[in-house]
């Protein structure tokens, strides 16, 4: 008998009855495969050899892939799927390399109904391309724009932007040391005041600040909807490093949930995983966030055009194909919350796919 076959049979004999049941269920559309994959990998590590670890990981990935294929064929995910954050650029003019038409194609391939094109505050000072993309694809795109907080005509500029029906909110970030210095002298206060007057939700990413520094503004503008980007945590970019460990500030994120005008995006989460797809190690943190904010203030987004650690499908399916949340929970996470928070009505094209049941949604 070939040595590889002997090893494979040995590994299978070491799996628990529960793991084998989960694996068998995967080929019938079962939902315990993620746990099975994790336990198989853990067994390989206990063998203390890279060879056994690699073989067990491959076995786990094979089982997981089979489950994915079965679910996709059965079409178990009903309703809308809205990506709460993507960055786009014109062909040949952006480092992202993804145009609006290319994004629409990727969305259709992955059953994504719509997406929020989000401006990058350090780069995208011009909202023209985002608004143009939304005008060309009105059922697929909404826009989270950017403005210059130092502009003397800030209030007027914000009003003009809001005239575009596709503009659903604004984004600001504190990324560099210069940004942090401006924040601490109140340079962004006018931005929040103007967003309140224009009833525009504002997405914030504050990797170089303590989240407690946002609290005075949250209290000062109780009618303004704040949305924490990227789980409220630093994520790796060209100019930002993730914390070590990546979830070090999670307690600060959870504390902000006490303020009802703060919501949160689970965007770019795979960049914080210490493992490969399906990123099982993320779930303890995701459950803490969902428990604190409730599903009616929590939304998913891929940030796929920035994230390089997974494909677009993987950035969706680590949640879509997981049994960590109920179908009702996923409906809030994937569509209902983003529609509610950004006051984004569904179009005739998407309205028919919405289910009216709020079962399983956590308040």
In the predicted model, residues of the chain with pLDDT beneath 50 are 1, 4-37, 39-40, 43-44, 47, 70, 73-75, 351-363
Taking only the tens place, the pLDDT of each residue in 43-77 is: 445 545 555 556 665 666 665 665 555 455 334 55
Q: Where are the alpha helices (DSSP H) in the chain?
A: 3-14, 17-26, 33-46, 50-74, 100-109, 128-136, 154-162, 177-184, 189-197, 215-220, 250-255, 283-293, 312-320, 327-331, 337-341, 348-351
Q: Which residues contact 296 (CB under 8 A, 6 or more apart)?
A: 332, 336, 337, 340, 361, 362, 363
Q: What pTM value is reported for the model?
A: 0.78
User: Domain residues of the chain, as ranges?
Assistant: 3-74, 82-351
At 346 the pLDDT is 85
> Nearest-CA neighbor of 205 among 85, 341, 294, 318?
85
- pLDDT at site 67: 54
Q: What does the block give as tokens for 99?
A: 């145009």
Residue pair 319/285 in contact (Cβ under 8 Å)? The answer is no
Own/partner long-range contacts of 213-216 (Cβ < 8 Å, ≥24 apart)? 213/183, 213/184, 214/256, 215/256, 215/259
Fold designation for 82-351: TIM Barrel (3.20.20)
pLDDT of residue 19: 41
CA dihedral sign of residues 302, 307, 311, 314? negative
The Cα-based distances of 93 to 89, 130, 131, 135 in angstroms read 7, 13, 16, 20
Provide the token pair at 304. 């796929």
Provide the pLDDT for residue 120.
83
Chain position carrying tokens 């109140």? 186
Q: Is residue 203 helix, strand or coil?
A: strand
Task: Look at residues 234, 318, 315 and name the one whose alpha carbon lies nearest to residue 272.
Answer: 234
Q: Give the C-alpha distances (Å, rounded to integers) separating 232 from 149, 248, 250.
A: 21, 11, 8
């Amino acid at each position: 008998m070939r040595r590889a076959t002997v090893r494979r049979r040995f590994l299978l004999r070491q799996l628990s009855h529960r793991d084998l049941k989960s694996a068998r269920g995967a080929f019938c559309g079962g939902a315990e495969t993620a746990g099975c994959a994790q336990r198989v990998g853990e067994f390989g590590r206990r063998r203390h050899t890279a060879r056994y670890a690699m073989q067990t990981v491959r076995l786990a990935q094979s089982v997981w892939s089979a489950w994915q294929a079965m679910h996709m064929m059965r079409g178990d995910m009903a309703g809308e799927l809205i990506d709460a954050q993507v960055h786009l650029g014109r062909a040949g003019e952006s480092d992202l390399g993804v145009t609006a038409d290319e994004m629409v194609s990727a969305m259709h391939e992955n059953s994504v109904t719509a997406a929020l094109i989000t401006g990058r505050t350090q780069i995208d000072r011009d909202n023209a391309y985002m608004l143009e993309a939304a005008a060309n694809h009105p059922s697929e795109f909404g826009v989270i724009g950017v403005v210059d907080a130092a502009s003397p005509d800030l209030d007027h500029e914000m009003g003009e932007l809001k005239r575009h029906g596709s503009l659903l909110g604004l984004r600001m970030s504190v990324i560099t040391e210069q940004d942090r210095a401006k924040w601490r002298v109140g340079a962004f206060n006018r931005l929040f005041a103007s967003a309140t007057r224009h009833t525009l939700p504002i997405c914030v990413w504050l990797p170089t600040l303590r989240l407690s520094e946002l609290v005075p503004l949250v209290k000062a503008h109780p009618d303004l909807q704040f949305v924490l980007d990227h789980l409220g945590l630093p994520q790796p970019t060209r100019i930002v490093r993730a914390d070590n460990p990546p979830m070090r500030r999670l307690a600060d994120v959870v504390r902000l949930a006490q303020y009802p005008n703060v919501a949160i995006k689970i965007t770019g989460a795979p960049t914080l995983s210490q493992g490969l797809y399906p990123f099982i190690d993320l779930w303890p943190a995701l459950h803490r966030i969902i428990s604190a904010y409730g599903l009616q203030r929590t939304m998913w987004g891929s940030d796929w055009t920035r994230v390089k650690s997974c494909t677009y499908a993987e950035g969706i399916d680590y949640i879509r194909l997981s049994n960590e949340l109920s179908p009702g929970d996923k409906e809030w996470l994937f569509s209902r919350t983003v529609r509610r928070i950004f006051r984004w009505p569904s179009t005739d094209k998407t309205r028919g796919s919405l289910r009216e049941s709020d079962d399983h949604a956590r308040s």
